[in-house]
Each structure stands twice: as C-alpha cells, then as structure tokens.
Amino acid sequence: MLVLVGVLLVIIGFAIRLNPLIVVTVAGIVTALLGGMNPLQILDAFGTGFSSSRSVTIFVAVLPLVGIIEYFGLQEKAKLLIAKLARLTAGRVLLGYMVIRQVTAAVGLNSIGGHPQTVRPLVYPMAEGAALRRYGHVPEAVKEKIKAQSAAVDNIGLFFGEDVFVAVGSILLITTFVDTTYHLHLEPLQLAIWAIPTAIAALLIHGFRLLRFDKALDRDYAKATVETVGAEN
C-alpha cells in the first residue's frame, strides 16, 4: 500500500496548484522508490516511457506554425466570422466543438483537435467572438472563463470519445492488464462498446452545462459592468 503515496502526492500537488509536470515527476519517482526500484531502473523507466510516447512532443513542431497563422490574423478572422452568426453564443460554439471532438476521437482521429493546434487559435477566439457579438465588450474575468471552458471542452470530448475506438492505447492497456493480472480475456471491442453509454452521458451532461454557461456569462457580464461603473463613479 505504500506505493499509493504517489497518488496522494499528486492530489496534494494539484490541490495547492504546483506545476503539474513537477508534481507528476516527483510522484513517479517516490512511487518507484517505494516499489523497490533503484535510481538506474527509474531513469530507464522514464526513458522507455518517453521513447515509446514521442508523439507527445509533436506540439514542438505545431507551435511555430500556429504562431505564424496567428500573426497573419487567424484569431481576428475567426472572431469576425462568428460575430456575423447571430444565433451562435459562446456556449453553443463550445458545444458544437465538443460534438466534433468526441466524434472524431471515437473514430481514432485524436490529432484533429488539441489545445495548441485547435483550441488556442480557433475555438477560443470563436467563442470569444460570439461573446463580443452578444455583449459588445468582454471583461477580462469573462474572457478567462471562456478560455477555461474552451480547454475543458477539448479534454472532456477527447477523454470520453477516444475509448470508443478499439485501437486506442487505453483500451489495449486495460485488456493487457486484466489478462496478465487476473487471467481474464477481454476483447477490445467489448470495452469499446461499453464505453459508448459513458461517452453519450458525458456529451449530454457537459452539453447541458455549456448551455447554462451562457446564463453564467450574462451574470458575470452584468456584475463586471456594475463594478466598472461603480469604480468610475
């Protein structure tokens, strides 16, 4: 049970808002030491994990491209496009992206979305553009909430959508773990089918929250406006 101390460290680190990379690294090292691994084995485990997951560093190639596109006005064009669509609100824009993100993840197209390549240059500016069309001016506090919801939508859509795809790493990890630990045979297709109700529930629940998000923005905008007027007086 001592190895579970690493989980406790992760919880505490996230609760006090330390750097996630440092928290996870320290928790991994502590867990490995409590599990009886020596420093060389720990270093080998980190190296093996990195070399088998080199795709996570693809953002290094994506970020310069995103920067160039933004330099030539991608965010401004996205805001102008959404501002012309009267029925779209910030919540509806994010709900539409969540549907797209979850459906594409369910068929294995995880790289279509993502924070650096889609949320930062497109999704957030579109949601902000919808808010600008509705309010005329978006206070900084409201912008931060839109940013947070934009990032959350991508995370939730990917997390609950990817398990529907039979060849995703998490499905293969579960089947291998159950087979080697409990000697039970699970087909990846079985897990993928059972993931469908969870994905649908996540879409409905968070979709409802996104529709309510517009009402929350109304309240935040009214509050920020009152505070601004009070400060000016």
**Domain ranges for the chain:** 1-52, 59-232
Task: Write the pLDDT tens digit of every residue in 162-210.
Answer: 888 877 777 777 787 778 777 888 888 888 888 899 999 999 999 999 9
Q: For residue 233, is pLDDT > 60?
A: no
Task: Write the pLDDT tens digit of every residue in 2-16.
Answer: 777 888 888 898 888
What is the structure's pLDDT at 207?
92
Distance (Å, rounded) from C-alpha 108 to C-alpha 105?
A: 5
What is the structure's pLDDT at 86?
62
What is the structure's pLDDT at 136?
79
What is the structure's pLDDT at 55?
58
Beta carbons within 8 Å of 119's beta carbon, 6+ residues apart:
113, 150, 151, 153, 154
What is the structure's pLDDT at 47?
78
Task: Write the pLDDT tens digit of every residue in 71-123.
Answer: 777 667 766 766 666 678 889 999 999 999 999 998 888 878 888 788 888 88
Task: Write the pLDDT tens digit of every residue in 11-66.
Answer: 898 888 888 888 888 988 988 888 888 888 888 887 777 666 555 566 666 667 76
| Residues 29, 42 contacting (CB under 8 angstroms) | yes
Q: Calculate what percentage of the chain has a pLDDT beyond 70.
A: 83
- Find where tokens 């897990």 sit: 191
What is the structure's pLDDT at 82?
66
Read off the pLDDT of each residue in 216-225 and give the average, rounded to a whole number: 77
pLDDT band of 157, cuts 50, 70, 90: very high
What is the structure's pLDDT at 169?
72
Q: Kindly state the tokens that stand for 141.
A: 């506090």
